[in-house]
Amino acid sequence: MISFDALPGNAALKRALQNALADRFPQAVLLSGDDSAALAAWSDTLAAGILCESAGSRPCGTCLSCRKVSEGVHPDLTLIDEGENELKVDLARRLKAENAIIPNDGERRVTIIRHAQNLNPMAQNALLKELEEPPSYAFFVLTAEQPDTLLQTVRSRCTKFALVPQEEAAGDGEAAALLAPYLEAIAQRREDRMMLAALALEKTPRRALLGVIGVLQSALRDAIFAAKGLPQPPVVAALRGQTQALAGAVSAARLLELYDFLSVLTDRVSRNAAAAAVTCALTSDAYRICFL
């Protein structure tokens, strides 16, 4: 049965995606990681979640749509998996033409492009508009083992999520412990304390740091909901106190700006940004976004 529970590890990412599926899911997503098999499983689950007919947690695994995705026969799911072959511009044009047709079964259509780094530059350019302004029913899930080789213009049009190998992922508890002082420092409007907390974060191994930033984004999401006065169970329950305090100190609009900035930071970290640049981003850039 297709479900997030069947996927190992990456608990924070899982919850963030489940929440996004329950809300308004981004129409273009780039999922990156080293493990092709894991990327395939995650992208299938995401596609099922987008297409699922359940009103509850998605993908439910049991509705007709979920079963069709599991069996690989959903008419509104296009899967592109050409292994290591180059993906050329005619493919991009074909996908564009297919996306112009309204969905067959439900209200949405999903295109999964595996090994998206193999899209050649011409194909990527041909997809740009489609990624930026797809028809309202169309969703793209790109997976890439080497996301940095994609054109910046493509990456910037996608909401990015990174899978962290299980053995290197910081546990949620560990991430929360690292993040609590940082979130408290922002709520107190103390740039010096933000700096101290960011220096501690900087010591986290690179891959684990991506996971920690993911948890930070989930916590910000909680704070944004709280700041808007929308009651919703927190994604990161361990940081409930901190996210409530943050919601009282920073406006929802600025928190959203910080959330988006963290996606940019994730991108930089995955391209091996220097540790000092990460600290600077989490300190002076974050402070400016929240308060200046």
Residues that bind Zn ion (CB under 5 A): 52, 54, 59-60, 63, 66
Return the number of the residue (7 or 12) whose C-beta is nearest Zn ion.
7
What is d(CA 221, CA 155) in angstroms, rounded to the nearest whole number?
A: 22
Q: How far apart are CA 29 and CA 163, in angstroms?
A: 13
Give the bridge partners for 32, in sequence order: 144, 162
Q: Please state, as a whole number, how many other Cβ atoms lie within 10 Å of the Cβ of residue 205.
A: 11
Nearer to Zn ion, 68 or 288 (CB): 68
**Between 68 and 240, whose beta carbon lies closer to Zn ion?**
68
Q: Determine the 3-state secondary structure of 135 from DSSP.
A: coil
Q: Do 128 and 157 touch, CB atoms closer than 8 A?
A: yes
Report the nearest approach of Zn ion to the CB of residue 108 (Å).
Answer: 12
Report, in Å, the least distance between residue 112 CB and Zn ion: 17
Q: How far is the CB of 39 from Zn ion (least distance, A)?
A: 21
- Interior angle at CA 157, CA 122 and CA 163, nearest 5: 100
Q: Which is nearer to Zn ion, 14 or 193 (CB)?
A: 14
Residue 251 is encoded by which pair of tokens? 């406006």
CB of 72 to Zn ion, least distance (A): 15
* Sequence-distant (≥ 6) Cβ neighbours of residue 15 within 8 angstroms: 218, 235
- Shortest separation between residue 142's beta carbon and Zn ion, angstroms: 22
- Give the nearer residue to Zn ion in terms of CB position, either 74 or 160: 74
Strands 28-32 and 77-80: unpaired
Q: Return the structure tokens found at 122.
A: 């011409």
Instruction: Work out how close the CB of 138 gets to Zn ion at its nearest, in angstroms, rounded to a whole number.
Output: 19
Looking at the Cβ atoms of 21 and 210, the one nearer to Zn ion is: 21
